[in-house]
Amino acid sequence: MNNTLIQPRTLSGFRDRLPQEAYAKASILEKVSEVFLSYGFMPIETPHLEYADILVKQGSEEIQKELYRFRDHGDRDVALRFDQTVPLARFITQHRHELIMPFKRYVIGNVFRGERAQKGRYREFTQCDFDFIGSDSLSCDAEILQVIYSSLSALGLQEFTIWVNHRDILNGIFAHFGLHENIESGLRIIDKLDKIGLDEVQKELQKELQITAEKAQEICKLVTIKQTSHYSEFFKEIAYLKDYNDALRKGLQDLESMFNILDDLELDISSCRINFSIARGLGYYTGIVYETTLNRLKSIGSVCSGGRYDNLTQSFSKERLSGVGASIGLDRLIAALMELGILELHGTAVRALLIVTNDAYFAFAHKIAEALRHSNVKAEVYPDAVKIKKSLGYANAKGHEFGVIIGDEEFQTKTLSVKNMTSGIQIEKVSFLHTLQIIRNS
Amino acid sequence: MNNTLIQPRTLSGFRDRLPQEAYAKASILEKVSEVFLSYGFMPIETPHLEYADILVKQGSEEIQKELYRFRDHGDRDVALRFDQTVPLARFITQHRHELIMPFKRYVIGNVFRGERAQKGRYREFTQCDFDFIGSDSLSCDAEILQVIYSSLSALGLQEFTIWVNHRDILNGIFAHFGLHENIESGLRIIDKLDKIGLDEVQKELQKELQITAEKAQEICKLVTIKQTSHYSEFFKEIAYLKDYNDALRKGLQDLESMFNILDDLELDISSCRINFSIARGLGYYTGIVYETTLNRLKSIGSVCSGGRYDNLTQSFSKERLSGVGASIGLDRLIAALMELGILELHGTAVRALLIVTNDAYFAFAHKIAEALRHSNVKAEVYPDAVKIKKSLGYANAKGHEFGVIIGDEEFQTKTLSVKNMTSGIQIEKVSFLHTLQIIRNS
> What is the tens place of the pLDDT at every residue in B262-272?
998 878 888 99
A357 in the same domain as A339: no
Instruction: Quickly state the pLDDT bin for B1 (edges 50, 70, 90).
Output: very low
Structural domain count of chain B = 2
CATH number (domain holding residue A47)? 3.30.930.10
Choose the final residue of a domain: B285, B310, B343.
B343
B152 lies in a domain? yes
A90 in the same domain as A22: yes
Q: Is residue A285 a known part of a binding site?
A: yes
Dump the DSSP string for A119-156: TTB-SEEEEEEEEEES---HHHHHHHHHHHHHHHHHTT
Dump the DSSP string for B68-113: -EEE-TT--EEEE-S-SHHHHHHHHHHTGGGSPSSEEEEEEEEEE-
Average pLDDT, chain A: 94
Nearest 10 degrees: CA dihedral of B325, B329, B334, B337?
-60
pLDDT at A58: 66
Choose the final residue of a domain: B343, B376, B406.
B343
Type and span of the H or E element at B432: helix B432-441
Q: How many CB pairs under 8 A join A and B?
A: 316
A3 lies in a domain? no
DSSP state of A429: E
pTM, rounded to two decimals: 0.95
A366 in the same domain as A331: no
Contact predicate A123/A11, CB 8 Å: yes
B167 lies in a domain? no
Question: Residue A207: pLDDT above 60?
Answer: yes
Of residues B373 and A180, which shows the higher confidence score? Answer: B373
DSSP state of A115: P
Instruction: Tell me, yes or no, if A387 comes closer than 8 A to chain B by beta carbon.
Output: no
| A242-262 average pLDDT score | 96
Q: Is residue A84 a known part of a binding site?
A: yes
Instruction: Give A292→chain B minimum CA distance, Å.
Output: 22
B146 in the same domain as B22: yes
B393 in the same domain as B312: no
Q: Is residue A167 a known part of a binding site?
A: no
Question: Residue A353: pLDDT above 60?
Answer: yes
| A 47-76 residues inside an 8 A Cβ radius of B | 47-51, 53-54, 57, 66, 68, 70-74, 76
| A203-212 average pLDDT score | 94
Instruction: Give A65→chain B minimum CA distance, Å.
Output: 9
B149 in the same domain as B40: yes
A42 lies in a domain? yes
A361 in the same domain as A331: no
Cβ within 8 Å, pair A43-B23? yes
Q: Which residue among B6, B25, B47 places its CB closest to the CB of A53?
A: B6
A310 lies in a domain? yes
A217 lies in a domain? no
B187 lies in a domain? no
B312 neighbourhood in chain A, CB within 8 Å: none
Sheet holding B304-309, edge to edge: B42-43, B103-112, B124-133, B323-329, B304-309, B285-294, B160-166, B272-274
| A167-193 average pLDDT score | 92
B320 in the same domain as B421: no
Q: Which chain A residue's Cα is nearest to B98?
A: A18
A46 in the same domain as A140: yes
Cβ within 8 Å, pair B261-A366? yes
Percent of chain B having pLDDT more than 70? 98
A370 in the same domain as A306: no
Instruction: Give A172→chain B minimum CA distance, Å.
Output: 25
Instruction: Tell me, yes or no, if B30 comes closer than 8 A to chain A by beta carbon.
Output: yes
Instruction: Tell me, yes or no, if A260 comes closer than 8 A to chain B by beta carbon.
Output: yes
Where residue B307 falls (left for φ over 0; alpha for ψ -120 to 50; beta otherwise) is left
- Exposure b/e, A349-378, CB count within 10 A at least 16 = b: bbbbbbbbbeeebbbbbbbbbbbbbeeebb
Question: Residue B57: pLDDT above 80?
Answer: no
Choose the final residue of a domain: B343, B362, B379.
B343
A301 in the same domain as A437: no
Q: Which chain A residue's Cα is nearest to B71?
A: A70
Question: Residue B3: pLDDT above 70?
Answer: no
Question: Residue A3: pLDDT above 80?
Answer: no
Cβ within 8 Å, pair B38-A104? no
B379 in the same domain as B322: no
* Range in A193-197, A246-250, A293-297, A432-436 with the lowest mean pLDDT: A193-197
Instruction: Tell me, yes or no, if B4 comes closer than 8 A to chain A by beta carbon.
Output: no
Q: ipTM of the predicted structure?
A: 0.95
Of residues B57 and A95, which shows the higher confidence score? Answer: A95
Cβ within 8 Å, pair B100-A398? yes
Question: Residue A317: pLDDT above 50?
Answer: yes
A55 lies in a domain? yes
Domain residue limits at B300: 14-159+295-343
- Over residues A115-149, the pLDDT tens digits come to 876 777 899 999 999 999 999 999 999 999 999 99
CATH number (domain holding residue B429)? 3.40.50.800
